[in-house]
Amino acid sequence: MRRRLALGAVLLVSAGCAYRGRAFDAHAHFESDATPGRIHPRISGKPELLLAEMAESGVERSALIVVPSSTDLSAAHVLHDQAAALLRRRPGRFVAIGAVQPSDGDAGLRELERIAGLGFRGVKLSPTRIDFNVRAITGSSA
């Protein structure tokens, strides 16, 4: 069995792993024009830069993760609106992922409903960023 696996690996490497299928970037950050380069100094997260990099790399679609500059829900709300505008301008190019935290409470639930209506398909939770302990709520020790 190991010999077949090794032979398969050699064949893939020698063939150049020439994948020719569609490419999907599963993790691209979306940032406001007001804070370019906050996440990565060379890659600003601006929509036009992301689109140019996608074209250069042959990426058809990208998961666009909203990353607000603070844990304040109003900061996320503004970015959600900007990302939704991008979804309308470039249909099919992005899958939007919102930023709503467990600590946002009822306002967060309303924002989840709102962004679902705007075409968002997921939400990124960052409990460590906001010091939210899931175990404290669930009573789980694992």
Residue 29 amino acid letter? H
Burial class (CB in 10 A: 0-12, 13-18, 19+), 141: exposed
What are the pLDDT digits (tens) for 73-129? 888 899 999 999 999 999 999 999 999 888 888 998 999 999 999 999 999 887 655
Which contiguous run of DSSP H or E holds residue 65? strand 59-66
H helix runs in the chain, sequence order:
2-14, 47-57, 73-89, 105-117, 134-138
What are the pLDDT digits (tens) for 119-139? 999 998 876 555 566 666 666
Q: Which residue has the tokens 């190991």?
A: 2
Report the SS3 class of residue 122: strand
CA distance readout (Å), 70 to 26, 75, 77, 78, 139: 23, 7, 11, 12, 28
What are the pLDDT digits (tens) for 5-55? 555 555 555 555 566 778 888 888 887 666 555 565 555 567 888 888 889
